[in-house]
Each structure stands twice: as structure tokens, then as C-alpha cells.
Amino acid sequence: MASGISPAPGASNRPGVQLAELQEFIEHEANLLDEQRFDEWLELFADDGIYWVPARPGQESPLTHVSLFYDDKPTLRIRVERLKHPKIHSQTPRSKTVRLVSNFRLAPQSGDPAEHCVTSKFVLLEDRPGVERRLFGGRYTHRLRAVPDGLRIVSKRVDLTNCDQFFPSLTQPF
Amino acid sequence: MSNFSNEYLRGLVLEDRVHRSIYTDPAIFELEMERIFGRVWLYVGHQSQVPNPGDFFCTTLARQPVVLSRDRDGAIHVLFNRCGHRGARVLNEECGNARLFTCMYHGWSFQPNGELAGVPMRRDFPAETLIDPQFGMVHLPRVENYRGFVFASLNPQVVALRDYLGEAIRGIDELVDRAPEGEIEFWAGCHRYEYRGNWKLQFENMADMYHPAAAHASTVGPDGRQFKRRSGGKGGDAPFFAENGEAIVAQTGVRGFRNGHSSEASLFREEQSGGVWDEYRALLVSKHGEERTREILRNRRHSMTIFPSVDILIAQTSVRVIRPVAVDRTEVQVYPVRLKGAPLQISIDVIRFVNITHAAASFIQSDDLEAFERSRQGLAASGTDWVLVARGLGGEVDEGNGVAFGDRSSEVGQRAQHYAWRDLMSAG
């Protein structure tokens, strides 16, 4: 058992991937976002990958209720292109962020033996000159697929504690 | 009582410009709550938000807590969300269902029609006091429902809703007529965004076809097309720039209406088609015939903005509600709409596209929010007191019935808003 990860009851250790690798991958992903390496972040997603931030606690479907983000990879690519665009006014000047990710847990995952489901807790601090400091927190649920050269995100769900409240302009993926 | 004379207030809006204090002065904001929000019709909610007896939906009108409720007999009411006893807010969740609405403070309870239902240890109150309806949950003085859109007014003397809406009523018709069953439904929750800025900044923006080329530059790809904004094999996206280099959106027209309403011409040129859209069109044709169907689906308007509370987004199939909170704080909700009787996939696609156009995290709205914040900051500057809304002035075409059309992203819509503001504010 890798340090820092404890399996949830009933979770099984999938063959081929060490638990520590999953944690390291998620921390690496958080770091890419903090460093605004959005192209590299995008490439972490599988071609059928989904990035989802529900707008309601416990939201069951992204199809029948609005979401803060519900991006398939082509949409995520548009988002990343826009984040890099020189005329993105809502990022002039750019935000600085720091993400702390903790409490990693393996969740039971049925189906594809090459997929792993990991939940974690995060806090995101966003600072942008001229704007009040913003603090977000919540839970990540990553479904990760083992492929020959590493891991890919099949889905990343972000449950914010304040997901059903009013938000100012949101530019940084959580 | 106002410290401003009517003459002074009138002078804050000129033909082509407005005084910056109307965005920044807390005393003017207080007076707006009384003379604008206290006098005209305000959108409350949609009847589909309270489908069953005992359903309630809480919101605010002129910052006052109100509740839209459905009574046991199916009637819809709009009540002040305030206990008739000592004034505590009764319903504390945004929506839900309850047989009785019960105040947490002393346990008084009310019927969904506002009548006082239960009072703990009742006999210790003078009996005649409790009969007085003002100690129930009090009704808004005026309530009207137009095709599911419930409006209320704090002003008992307000004109009929139809007269207040005038030609702008077409915006509601044009959205609702797109539903094969002639009825729409709010079914997918709402986006919620807020900004540190005056509510009028959002209203001006909703009549603004001039800003996208600059404000939304980051949404245009290297091929000169904006990302796809709505579903359909055709009619979902549009080229952004015309051959002469101007943004196409800035070449389109705007209308200003009596009482401050406004509308923008559609950005789209083609009917949405392909897949379920063809199925949907066939449904409309079977119901209305080809000619009427073409009329219903015509890309006439992007939106119809009903001053000072709601925006009917016809092209995006959604409804945006604007609530002023303070002179420099505004809250907005955007509800994707389901067209009853249309293939489900159409309404699911609406949700998906509204996510990327109007969520706080969307490609469009985030830059508009930036514009509102920068306006708040810039309007603190005292170098000049005037804000210009002169675009297209003098070029308007009078279309009759209180409608003025201006082409090429005329600021005729903003002027209509400000002229209505002036007339209401200076009528002490």
C-alpha cells in the first residue's frame, strides 16, 4: 500500500497501476492548472473524456440540468484556446492560483478493469489583481484509464461546496 | 422622500447621453427601487416552477422577499414572503412544496394563498386581530400571468400588463410559439452569476450589438468563426466577420420600445436543421402548416428585453432574470427552456449550449462580466460626468406603436431604456 492512499471499503487494487501513481497523476494535473499549462492539461483527457462541474449538490445528470462546466474534449479545446487568447479580457491580468489536493480515496469501480476511480478533496485559492481573493473547495472524482503511456482522464467531476450559489466570472477550471 | 427634484432627475438623461451618477449614487438607487421597481410590472417567475399545489418559488422584487405559490385549487399567487406576526421571512428555501407555509419564529402557518392557517396558543390574541388579512402573508397588489410568465407589481394603479409590455409582448409569443404544444417549461434549474456593478449595465448589454467584436474577441477562432452557439447541422453557428472586416453582429439592427423594452435582431441566418430539428419542424408543420411554421422559426430576434426585470432569449431558448441588489451589485439567473412537445434532444442541447454561452464560466458571459466590473471602476472617474449612448442617433425608423428601429448596432435600445428611466424617475 502506497503511503497517503487508503482504499475505501470494497475497493480493489486494480492490476497494473500502483495507487501512488493515481495520486501523483492528480497532483500533476493540479500543478498544470496552477502553472496555466492548459495545452498539457487538455492532453491528459482521453478523446472521449468529460470535464464536469455540476451546478446542483448531488446532481445526477449533466443532460437535464445546467452545469457550471460540462465540456467534452472538443469543447474543452475551445475553452483552452480561449484561455490562451491574447484578448481574453476576463484574464487581463491573469489569475494566479494554488490548488491543494488531499484525502485521496479509491472508489469502487465496476466495468473496465483498466479504469480507476479516485476521489479527493481540494481547496483552490485564486488571486487576480483588482479582484477580491476567491476561495473554492470541494471534491474531485476522477475516472482514470490506464493506457500504454500512462493515464488519461475519462471523466473529472468537481463538486463545489457552493455550486448552487451566485458566481462572479469563472475562468479557471477547478 | 427624495432629495432630488424631478427637474434634476430629468436632467440626468439627455437625448444622447446619461449622467454617470445613475450607475454609482446609492441615493439614486434607493429612489429607483421606489419609482421604477415600485411602479412598473416586474417578472416574478414561470408557472412551470410551481406545477403542483403547495409548490413555492422564492425570489425578490425591488429587493423585497416574495414567493410565487400554487394553491390547492391550482391558482397561482404572489405573496410577500413575510410572516404576518412579527415580520420574519417565512420560506427560507428557494423552492419546494409544503401543505402550509410555516414561520420558524413562533410557528404561525399560512395557506399557499396567504391566508393565516395556524397560530400556536391562538386564544391569547384578540380574536378580531387575527381575522385581518394583513396578518396573513400579504398579496402583491397586482399579479398577471401571460402565457406562463408571471408578473407582479407593487403599484395598485399600474396599467394592465399587456399595455405595459406593448409590442414587446411579441418576444414572449415568439419563444412560446416555438413549442409544438404552445407552452414552455423551466425544467433544468438555472445559471447564477453576479457582478459588482449597477443593474443597468446588464440591461444596456442586452441591447448591445456593438460590443461583441471587441468584448468577445477571444471567442473567435483563427477561421473567423465564433464557436458553435446552438445545435443543428445548420443554423448553429455563424461567421463572425463580414467581407468588409466589420463584425456581422455589429451590422445587425436593434429596436427600442416604449416603456424601456428593447430587442436585438437575430445573429443567425438559417433555420436550425438536420436530425431532430427536421423531426421538430415536421411537428410544427403538421400543427400549423408550412407558412406559419416558417414564420415561427424565422430568425427574427436574438432576444427581447423587458425593462427592468427579464430578458427573453429567443435564439438561445432561455430566460434571463435580473435582480438589483445594491447600487453596485446585481444578481442574474438564466433558465434554459424546454419547448413542450418538441423532441427531448432539442431541449437537452439547449442546456448544453446555454452552459457555454451564459454560465458564470461560459465563453461569452465571463467577458461581459468583466465589462460590467470595468464599467463600475471606470465610472468612478470624475473627468466627465457623461456616458454616451449616441450610436445611430437620428437614424431611427419609427415603426409605429412605440417601436423605433435602428440598424448597424444602433444604441436605440439603450436610449429607450434610459428615456423610460427618466420618465419614471422624474415623475415624483
Can you give B245-309 as a three-state secondary structure string?
A: CCEHHHHCCEEEEHHHCEEEECCCCCCCECCHHHHHHHHHHHHHCHHHHHHHHCCCEEEEEECCC
Using CA atoms, how far apart are residues B184 and B187, in angstroms rounded to an integer? 9
Nearest Cα of chain A lies from the Cα of B67 at a distance, in angstroms, of: 19
Q: Looking at the partner chain, which of B219, B355, B371 has a beta carbon nearest the beta carbon of A67? A: B355
Q: Identify residue B379 by its one-letter amino acid code.
A: L
Preferred mutation among A169, A170, A171, A172 to probe B, highest tally of B CBs within 10 A: A169
Nearest Cα of chain B lies from the Cα of A17 at a distance, in angstroms, of: 34
pLDDT tens track for B75-96: 999 999 999 999 999 999 999 9
pLDDT tens track for B136-176: 999 999 999 999 999 999 999 999 999 999 999 999 999 99
Q: What stretches of B111-198 show up as alpha helix (H) in DSSP?
A: 127-131, 161-165, 169-176
Q: Identify residue B241 by its one-letter amino acid code.
A: F
Question: What's the whole-model pTM score?
Answer: 0.95
Using CA atoms, how far apart are residues B190 and A163, in angstroms rounded to an integer? 12
Q: Which residues of B touch A66 (CB under 8 A)?
A: 188-191, 334, 336, 351, 354-355, 359
Report whether B72 contacts B54 (CB < 8 A). Answer: yes
Report whether B91 contacts B103 (CB < 8 A). Answer: no
pLDDT tens track for B94-137: 999 999 999 999 999 999 999 999 999 999 999 899 999 999 99
The one-character DSSP state at A12 is: -
**Mean pLDDT over residues B185-203, rounded?**
98
CB atoms within 10 A of CB A55: 26
pLDDT tens track for B263-274: 999 888 888 888
Report whether B18 contacts B386 (CB < 8 A). Answer: yes
Q: Tell if the CB–CB gap between B359 and A170 is shorter than 8 Å.
A: yes
Q: Tell if the CB–CB gap between B187 and A64 is shorter than 8 Å.
A: yes
Task: Decide if A56 touches B, using CB distance below 8 A.
Answer: yes
Residues of chain A with pLDDT under 50: 1-4, 7-14
**Mean pLDDT over residues B206-218, rounded?**
95
Tell me the three state secondary structure of residue B420. Answer: helix
Top-confidence residue, A73 or B240: A73
Kindly list the strands in the beta sheet with A45-54, ordered across the sheet, starting from the edge strand earlier in the chain.
A6-7, A96-107, A115-128, A131-147, A150-160, A45-54, A67-72
Using CA atoms, how far apart are residues B403 and B60, in angstroms rounded to an integer? 30
| Residues contacting residue A163 through CB under 8 Å, at least 6 positions apart | A53, A54, A55, A56, A57, A59, A68, A138
